[in-house]
Chain A
Amino acid sequence: MIIHHLSDKLLMAYSAGTLPEAFSLAVAAHVELCDECRARLASFDAVGGAVLNATEPASVPLSGGALTATLARIKSTAPVARSRPARISDAVLPEALAKYVGGGTEAIKWRSIGNGVRQAILPTSGTATARLLYIPAGMAVPDHGHQGLELTMVLQGAFADDDDRFARGDIEIADDAVEHQPVAEAGADCICLAVTEAPLKFRDLLPRLAQPFLRI
């Protein structure tokens, strides 16, 4: 049962299409596992529909031949049937994430960052970074930056800090102000998706990530 959900701001920005790719990935992954946020997202899409519907037709109208040209194009366009798209079907990774990994969990290209913790950077564009983290049960979740907005979503296992517990599907939304040191629970090793606002700097990454195993 998911108890930590996406914020309205994230859902609206995703619906409007303005979130950086790495954050969109976390939103898409959570929505796949959470029908409550799927419904909330659809309600924000409905706001977009209402905005579109209320938009005054362009002051520069469509060219006179636009309909004719489009009709000519659809004549040669085959309808897309309702059929199940190809799936990777991994027990841990939602499809949106599996596409970025290029397969299931076995296809993740882990790199050790010390103390049994591993990470895999996912290929997203621009201003934010998405990475998968593998944290052995009982280890601290690496500190991934605290620069701006930071999302951490659990895919396997669970982690907890003093106040909260996060299990599969739960998403933690943190910003600069939050100081915390969550620890992966005993039991299953924890796999999570972590997205940070700061662009990836290869040089800084390892030292910052290797530091924080204080609480074990």
Chain B
Amino acid sequence: MKPKDGTRWVFLLQKIAEKRDTEAFAELFGHFAPRVKAFLMKSGADHALAEECTQDVMVTVWSKAAQFDPSRASAATWIFTIARNRRIDMLRRDRRPEPEDLFWGPEEEPDQLDVLALQQESDQLGAAIAGLPDKQRIMIERAYFGELSHSEIAEETGLPLGTIKSRIRLALDRLRHNLS
């Protein structure tokens, strides 16, 4: 199934953040909740635990929608980080130190051109990963499902991350500039 254009999910998250729109939430849920559940099951959760944690992840998506910055991440990326953190809690009961985020207050709005460019880069990255040779793609999937330790991850990932990294760097520079 071809994934929908990333800008649709950004639009829904903004409706949730600004209007507490439950219809937008239901549409987002329809796409992401089954994937989050599959992700958690591939990461070792059983059916009941995955179901419960998926709900937790989607509740977090709802409550933290205003913190989503679409000039630095796609909706899928942001939801992935929430699901990953839930998985760490769930499986390892370990703390996860996080870098303090750059503070961006309610008055800062991401630049719309940055947003569009980042969403397009994210869609292209998805396509590029889908097109990798099986061996390489499977290594990456296994890493993100939590099956590989640091030492088992290949030195050369072959991932084309240069352009998306540059985009995010620009958005970070702009944010730093606005904050200073």
Contact = CB atoms under 8 A, between A and B. Distances in A.
A128 B113 CA distance: 43
Contact of B59 (A29, A41, A77): A77
Contact of B97 (A28, A55, A61): A28
A13 B153 contact: yes
B35 A13 contact: no
Nearest to B106: A82
A55 B72 CA distance: 22
Interface string A113-133: 000000000001110000000
B97 A36 contact: no
Interface string A155-168: 00000000000000
B7 to A, nearest CB: 14
Contacts of A71: 22, 25-26
Contacts of A124: 95
Contacts of B96: 17, 21, 24
A49 B84 CA distance: 10
Interface in B4-29: 17, 20, 22, 25-26, 29
Interface residues of A, number: 73
A17 B85 contact: yes
A10 B143 CA distance: 12
Interface of A: 8-10, 12-13, 15-19, 21, 23-25, 27-29, 31-32, 35-36, 38-63, 66-67, 69-71, 73-74, 77-85, 87, 94-96, 99-100, 124-126, 149
Given A15-B144, A52-B35, A55-B35, 17 more contacts: A8-B157, A12-B153, A15-B84, A16-B148, A17-B96, A35-B176, A41-B99, A43-B168, A49-B126, A50-B125, A51-B141, A52-B36, A54-B130, A58-B50, A67-B26, A82-B106, A83-B105
